[in-house]
Amino acid sequence: MKKISLLILPLVLALVVGMVNGAYGRVGHWLYANVTDLEASAYGFEQSAVDIGDMELALYSNNNPGKPAIVMLHGYSADKDVWPRFAKHFVDDYQVIIPDMAGHGDTGFDASWDYSMPAQAKRLAALLDKLDIAQAHVIGNSMGGFLTATFAIAYPERTLSATMVDPAGVMSPQPSDMMKMLSAGHNPFLIHNRAEFDSFYAMTMAQPPFLPGMVLEAMSDKYIERRAELEKIFTDFHSSDYLEEKLADLKAPAMLWWGDKDRLLHVSSVSVWEAGVPQLKTHIFNGVGHMPMVEVASEAAGLYQDFLQQLPAQVAAE
């Protein structure tokens, strides 16, 4: 209860101050920037930045040295804040690392950086080197799922397991709503106004958690502000070779999740992954959209715990 109170108190105070002062926009931006950090802290995560050579990667991590490592990777245009409600279930038994990948969150953006999947995989390997982690379980959503598979193929000796959550990286047999929009020349991630943001946000989750209107307004403002940056990242990200011909090289124990209501990446992609990855474990979430680890965090965490516990002992504990 104390942790819940710590999370609610800043929110209540900010809402009261906002109503009294009429500072709706400022309060929304403050909440968007800070409350998720406070929540992550309540779950036992600390914020830090790790110099990997060409940049400093911001991240959440718990202080659990010597435990098996899990790396959790966010999707395109998202950041590390999508993971803590899922990740809190692993803080006792694992060393959890949740980075803001290049171009995202507190790591920031630089137009000179390469945002392709091979480049991001090299950065992930460099991050593990800096943290003195030889091997890790890797789980990633969307672009992070594409990166998870890319990393597992490129660095098999460093991948204890690979879990892809509604991942990009293959062509779906049936086009998603997003793919139809892209084919028509419109990228729903590149936001110009609040109406476009609301339409886009509705595509991201079938069961979104509650967020105050002022926070959604702040999110919309951030997308508008970052439009040119996101366009650059999208171009680099989609320049990466798709994985159909490489999936058989994913040798680590692997699991695939998909929400059957995903409007960004169509659930029909499951058949492509299953045809390509040997001994892939698959789970379809009914009534869930693109982000199961946010929409049904506890259910997804239980599924992931079961997967990790069923791995051979030498893999799960290395």
Question: Are 303 and 230 part of one and the same domain?
Answer: yes
| Least confident interval from 30-44, 137-151, 233-247 | 30-44
Q: Which H or E run contains 162?
A: strand 159-165
Question: Are 31 and 61 part of one and the same domain?
Answer: no
Residue among 166, 165, 193, 168 at smallest CA distance from 182? 168
Residue among 156, 148, 82, 94 at smallest CA distance from 309? 94
- Per residue in 228-247, pLDDT (tens digit) is 999 999 999 988 889 999 99
CB-hemisphere CA count at 13 Å for 237? 23
Distance CA 45, CA 314 (A): 27
- State phi, psi for 55 to the nearest 5 degrees: -170, 170
Question: Are 2 and 71 part of one and the same domain?
Answer: no
| Full domain range(s) for residue 268 | 46-316
- State phi, psi for 194 to the nearest 5 degrees: -65, -40
> Is the CB of residue 166 less than 8 Å from the CB of residue 178?
no
> Could you tell me what percentage of the chain is helix, strand and coil, using 3-state DSSP and rounding each to the nearest 5?
50, 15, 35
- For residue 315 the two structure tokens come to 């893999």
DSSP category for residue 8 = H
DSSP category for residue 231 = H
Count CB-CB contacts under 10 A for residue 132. Answer: 7
What is the arithmetic mean of pLDDT over 13-26? 52
Question: Are 21 and 66 part of one and the same domain?
Answer: no
Question: Are 247 and 123 part of one and the same domain?
Answer: yes
Question: Are 35 and 83 part of one and the same domain?
Answer: no
Question: Are 60 and 143 part of one and the same domain?
Answer: yes
Q: How many domains does the chain have?
A: 2
Question: Are 18 and 135 part of one and the same domain?
Answer: no
> Is the CB of residue 213 less than 8 Å from the CB of residue 221?
no
Question: Are 198 and 62 part of one and the same domain?
Answer: yes
- Per residue in 78-93, pLDDT (tens digit) is 999 999 999 999 999 9
Question: Are 61 and 28 part of one and the same domain?
Answer: no
Question: Are 166 and 300 part of one and the same domain?
Answer: yes
| Least confident interval from 28-32, 67-71, 171-175, 254-258 | 28-32
- Per residue in 172-220, pLDDT (tens digit) is 999 999 999 999 999 999 999 999 999 999 999 999 998 888 889 999 9
- Per residue in 119-130, pLDDT (tens digit) is 999 999 999 999
Question: Are 15 and 148 part of one and the same domain?
Answer: no
pLDDT score recorded for residue 23: 65
Task: Read off the CATH number of the domain in which 167 is found.
Answer: 3.40.50.1820
